[in-house]
Every structure is written in structure tokens, then in C-alpha cells.
Structure 1
Amino acid sequence: MSREAYQVPSMGTQNAFSTDAGYGSAMAVDKSSVAYLCGECSARVTLKSGDQIRCKDCGHRVLYKERTKRMVQFEAR
């Protein structure tokens, strides 16, 4: 019985939280921006890293992260 040595899987340039891996893919518009909802006018705002946290329509500073579209199911014991 021959055993092969364990090899750590390489992820290349991806990490565990990239949108290609499935985490947050429903909320992300592209790889570097995330969609938020304005607390004042309910407009959909996409922000990139380093952008000011402010609605582009009304200037309000309270933004809520959109909920995921994935089904989340917990097992009750």
C-alpha cells in the first residue's frame, strides 16, 4: 500500500474571503467593492476600500450592509 505525501492545497491569489470562493458573493458587485443600503434614502451604494462612508445621493453617513442571498440553515439539537 503506497501512501502519497500530504500536499497543502494552493489557493493562488485568492484567500478564504474572496468573492470567487463563495463568501459574500451575493453582496459584492466586483472583487473590490461592497454594496450597502443608505439608512436615510434607502439607495444602494457601492463602496470600494478607502472610499468615504457616505451616501452618494443624500450624503447620509449611516450605511447598512445588505443581507446575504444565500440560504442559512442551522441544525437544532
Structure 2
Amino acid sequence: MSRETYQVPSMGTQNTFDAQGGGYASAMAIDSPSVVYLCGECSARVPLKRGDQIRCKDCGHRVLYKERTKRMVQFQAR
């Protein structure tokens, strides 16, 4: 049997080592799009980005629901 050494899969620019901060800088955290959620208490629209606190900015409630998609979803019946 031949032994092959394990190679770490390359992640591209998603996880790169930050020399100034001494940690990992994620490209997703810098320019990540915000996803809109609905507050379970006051029904306010709350845009959240990656790493934000899961909390309504109006009332402080912590139960948020993801909005339904606006595109058409169709299932094929058999």
C-alpha cells in the first residue's frame, strides 16, 4: 500500500490568514449581503448580516422568522 500525505483543500480567498490581526479574515464577513427577517413580536423587517446579533432592532425580541421567497416555486407531481 502506498501512503499519500493529506492535503488540505484550498478554500480560495474565503479563509485567508490576516498578518496584521493575527487571525483569519473571511471574505464573506466583509461584503456579505444582508438577509431580511421578520420580528416575531412587532413584525418589523430586520436586515441581518453574517455575525450580527439575532435581535430585533426595534423591540429587542430574539425570535426572527425568515421571509418567504418571492420567486415561483413549482413541484412536479408524479
TM-score, structure 1 normalization:
0.59
Structure 1 gap ranges (5+): 1-12, 14-29
- Paired residues, what number? 49
**Per-residue Cα deviation, 1:26-76 (whole angstroms, up to 9, x for no partner):** xxxx95210000000000000011100000000000000000000000110
Whole-Å separation in 1 of the counterparts to 2:57 and 2:46: 7
Q: Secondary structure at the match of 2:55?
A: coil
Q: What RMSD, in angstroms, separates the aligned Cα atoms of the two structures?
A: 1.7
One-letter amino acid of the counterpart of residue 32, structure 1: P
Provide the secondary structure at the position in 1 that maps to 2:72. coil
| Identity value in percent | 88
Larger Rg: 2
TM-score by length of 2: 0.59
The aligned counterpart of 2:39 is 38
**Higher relative contact order (Cα pairs below 8 Å, separated by 6+ residues):** 1
Q: Whole-Å Cα distance in 1 between the matches of residues 65 and 56 of structure 2?
A: 11
